[in-house]
Amino acid sequence: MSNRTIIPFGPQHPVLPEPIHLDLVVEDEKVVEAIPSIGFIHRGLEKLVEKKDFIDFVYVAERICGICSYIHGMTYCMSVEQLLKLEIPDRAQYLRTIWSELSRIHSHLLWLGLTADSFGFESLFMQSWRIRESILDIIEETTGGRVIFGAAKVGGVRRDVSSVKLDEIMKKLRVYQKEINTIGSVFLNDTTVKHRMQGVGVLSQADAKSLGAVGPMLRGSGVSQDMRMTGYASYGKIGFTPVVETAGDCYARTKVRILEIAQSVDIIQKCIEQIKEGPIEVKVIGMPDGEYFARTEQPRGEVIYYAKGNGTKFLQRMRVRTPTFANLAPLLATLRGCQLADVPVIVLTIDPCISCAER
Amino acid sequence: MTEQTIIDITIPELLGKVRECQEKGMRLVQICCTRLPEVLEIHYSFDLEYAFTSYRLTLQNTDTPVPSVSGIYLPAFLYENEIHDLFGIKVEGMAIDFKGKFYQKTMKTPFNPAQPSGEAK
């Protein structure tokens, strides 16, 4: 039997955009166990709900994460709207869907760039992020923000987007889609990329289910599960089928994300075709009372907002379960038995967002 | 919005209910703990074909140990370690027990309104 060595991985590591620590127990070059620890950026944001009124707390929810901030804000709003029994206007629901899908496109492009960087393909990293900048430009044109959109609001959305602007966005997205297809074909067909990802970090369908994986991590293992199927916002009117791959390896997870970008463009097109003129918000009357779990699909997977109100302007309690936290157990399972050199790629394929996970 | 059910249970009922969920093929969605002024609540949430069920356990204090469900749903050990580290609840029989080292904090945990906040270790 080889000697066992413990190699600390993170919290500061070139491939980690955010801090998580893994103690990698290795025998020669083979990882036999990974032990995680988190908490380096725990901010206790959920506790603030006791001091910020339920209307203002959306600003805090949006700041839980800098990548999927909009969906955080929207999901928080959905949980409170359910407590208030508010009916959100159709136009606001369509705008929420459009911004959610723009968030997904830019998040997946960010992830593609980071992954290319993790295996040293710097030009692919650069191209992924170049296209992402164009998506951020669209977000800035429609919301005024690039990272924190500030567009989510209890009762609807803060800004309207004219039909002329929506048509312009669609034309731009079709151009960017061609560019994304070009880099996508490199990710999916390049020999070096395939060598680094095919057969690496395999998570079986049974393990993905039993370990509670979510998002592309789950769908890359052949499980067709996506919270958008529940029909929140305007997904129910658009019609939607999750992207699923069956290999369960890093390559399958990459393919799911690349195909989801194209799917997001199609969803935005359907929204633009179906959206009708109308109000973008309803008046908020009353105070939240009761409890509710709001569930939506972030780029990384299912996010849950639990809100509990007691009829005052302050929520009694709020709790968030983020997709990265749910994907930690599957990550530990995929690391077991892998080569040390593959650890960065495998860690990245869960698309870790530690700010989300620690709140 | 999808169907959503919240059911109150007691500690002796917990393992039986969770085992029933596993036998039905339900997915463990999350375990979340919330501190209310008088009590602590732990929600064990499950999903089956997007139908959401949450079992709520109410604790009067952190002295009462809660049995771990990680023997039934393995990924529960992460949620249970988090609950132990942040809320100070004793969870017995976790599949992997980090002994309070899962959350690496410079602040003293568990966070408790009765304790002075920001006190360094």
Bridge partners (DSSP) of residue A24 are A7, A34
> Does residue B104 sit within a domain?
no
Tell me what the mean pLDDT of segment B77-103 comes to: 84
> Does residue B75 sit within a domain?
yes
- Chain A residue numbers with beta carbons less than 8 Å from the beta carbon of B77 are 329
- The crossing angle, in degrees rounded to 10, of helices A90-118 and A250-274 is 150
Residue A47 CB burial class (10 angstroms; 0-12, 13-18, ≥19): middle
Phi-psi category of residue A25: left, alpha or beta, with phi > 0 → left and psi -120 to 50 → alpha? beta
Using an 8 Å CB-CB cutoff, list residues of chain B that contact chain A. Answer: 1-2, 4, 6, 27-30, 32-36, 43, 45, 50, 52, 54, 73-75, 77-78, 82, 85, 98, 101-105, 111
> Does residue B117 sit within a domain?
no
What residue of B is the nearest CA neighbor of A214? B29
Give B62's pLDDT tier (boundaries 50, 70, 90).
confident
Higher pLDDT, A321 or A20: A321
- Chain A residue numbers with beta carbons less than 8 Å from the beta carbon of B98 are 37
> Does residue B57 sit within a domain?
yes
- Chain A residue numbers with beta carbons less than 8 Å from the beta carbon of B85 are 39
> Does residue B119 sit within a domain?
no
Query: Which stretch of DSSP H or E encloses residue B5?
Result: strand B4-9
* pTM for the full predicted model: 0.87
Give A2's pLDDT tier (boundaries 50, 70, 90).
low
C-beta atoms of A321 and B29 within 8 A? yes
Tell me what the mean pLDDT of segment A195-200 comes to: 88
Give B12's pLDDT tier (boundaries 50, 70, 90).
very high
CATH of the domain at B86: 3.30.460.80
Are A16 and A8 in contact, with CB atoms under 8 Å apart? no
Asked if the model's pLDDT at residue B115 lies above 50, the reply is no
> Does residue B80 sit within a domain?
yes
Mean of the per-residue pLDDT values of chain A: 87
> Does residue B111 sit within a domain?
no
Give B116's pLDDT tier (boundaries 50, 70, 90).
very low
* Nearest by CB: B6 against A212, A291, A330: A291
Q: How many domains does chain B have?
A: 1
C-beta atoms of A229 and B34 within 8 A? no
- Chain A residue numbers with beta carbons less than 8 Å from the beta carbon of B32 are 304, 306, 319, 321
Query: Going from the N-terminus, what domains does chain A have, and what CATH number goes with each?
Result: 4-353 (1.10.645.10)
- Chain A residue numbers with beta carbons less than 8 Å from the beta carbon of B103 are 37-39, 42
- Chain A residue numbers with beta carbons less than 8 Å from the beta carbon of B101 are 37
Tell me what the mean pLDDT of segment A226-235 comes to: 89
Q: Which domain holds residue B15?
A: 4-92
Q: Closest approach of chain B CAs to the CA of A306, in angstroms? A: 9
Convert the pLDDT of each residue in A43-72 to its tens digit. 777 777 777 888 888 888 888 887 888 999
Distances (CA, A) of B9 to A101, A127, A351, B17, B56: 39, 53, 36, 9, 6
Residue A25 tokens, joined = 């127990």
User: HSE (CB half, 13 Å, CA atoms) of A49?
Assistant: 28
Q: Closest approach of chain A CAs to the CA of B61, in angstroms? A: 17
What residue of A is the nearest CA neighbor of B28? A212
